[in-house]
Amino acid sequence: MATLSLIRRPIESELADYKKVFDATLQHPDGLLGSALTHIRNRQGKMMRPILVLLTAKATGGVNETAIHSAVTLELLHTASLVHDDIVDESDERRGQASVNAVYDNKVAVLVGDYLLSSSLEQAALTGDAHIVARIAQLGKSLSEGEILQLSNIHTETVSEEAYFTIIRQKTAALFATCAELGAIATGATPEVAATARELGEVIGICFQIRDDIFDYYEQAAIGKPTGNDMAEGKLTLPAIYALNHAADAEMDRLASLVKSGKASPDDIARLVAFTKSAGGIDYAERVMRDYGRRGHELARTLAGDGEVGQALTEYVDYVVERNM
């Protein structure tokens, strides 16, 4: 099993530099805003996205100030999107802690999210690279487009893998792809190398989202995500999509329609979750994810070779695929 300590080893000092800059952006003298930012700072996760920026920078020329600011701007944009997503999803928890909208209210959460977005743009400007600023702007648009597409997809009758992958490529995968790409761009890598890094990031993001979706079919109290939470929000993810499209079960199709219309009861959701498992949906999603993981290994070796950084990137892919929360 890959471990974060092994993944971080080649960039320990650079990661410390990143954290100093990031933490400084989450401080403010104003009482209410300062309190909300402190709440966010205290729930920092595993820094998976900044680690990816720094590893790809290390692989393509070495971590510099541009890479540090790129990592900070991406994590701020990601954090802002989480704050806003919790409002849209009416979520009370994030990473096992109370969400900003739960601790304060929606008005404060919207404004805090906007503040984080502005801080992200400020960090992008500090890179001094117009290409990086453009990539950040494009990512922000992609994340919003993906979120809106997901909301519109909830209300359609069709259940397709194509729609599922379109959504996750515009959301989770786009963020990881930009992390890896900006790490390469920050070091002056060629467009070809930057494209390889971007594909690596996209593959990682796809694996990350499929694993996250598989979690939803099991109790995951540690991440604040009970079984069937996605279905309760009207979302059908890869395991259920496969099961529904391959089992030809009219009753389950009816339950899927109830899920997408927001009318499914907890018992309906429990039945659809059980059906998804018995019809091979989890096994299928695992196979798809591991196929992407193997492609991630190839791209990591292409980008960084077999040295310490290449090994760390390979371990990164394994960590995302094998993680248990």
Neighbours of 69 (CB within 10 A): 24
pTM over 0.85: yes
Q: What is the CA radius of gyration of the chain?
A: 20
φ, ψ of residue 160 to 5 degrees: the values are: -130, 150
Q: Which of 233, 273, 237, 231 is nearest to 252 (CA)?
A: 273
Q: Which of 205, 204, 201, 181 is nearest to 193 (CA)?
A: 181
pLDDT tens-digit profile, the chain (325 residues): 678 889 999 999 999 999 999 999 988 888 888 888 878 888 778 899 999 999 999 999 999 999 999 999 999 999 888 878 777 777 776 666 777 788 778 888 888 889 899 999 999 999 999 999 999 999 999 988 988 888 777 767 677 899 999 999 998 999 999 999 999 999 999 999 999 999 999 999 999 999 999 998 987 654 444 567 889 888 899 999 999 999 888 999 999 999 988 899 999 999 999 999 999 999 999 999 999 999 999 999 999 999 999 999 999 999 999 987 6
Q: Which domains does the chain have, with CATH numbers?
A: 4-322 (1.10.600.10)
If you count them, how many residues does the chain have?
A: 325
Q: How far apart are CA 230 and CA 165, in angstroms?
A: 16
Q: Which of 271, 237, 60 is nearest to 164 (CA)?
A: 237
The tally of CA atoms less than 13 A away on the side-chain side of residue 108 is 16
Alpha-carbon distances of 97 from 66, 113, 224, rounded to whole Å: 32, 17, 8
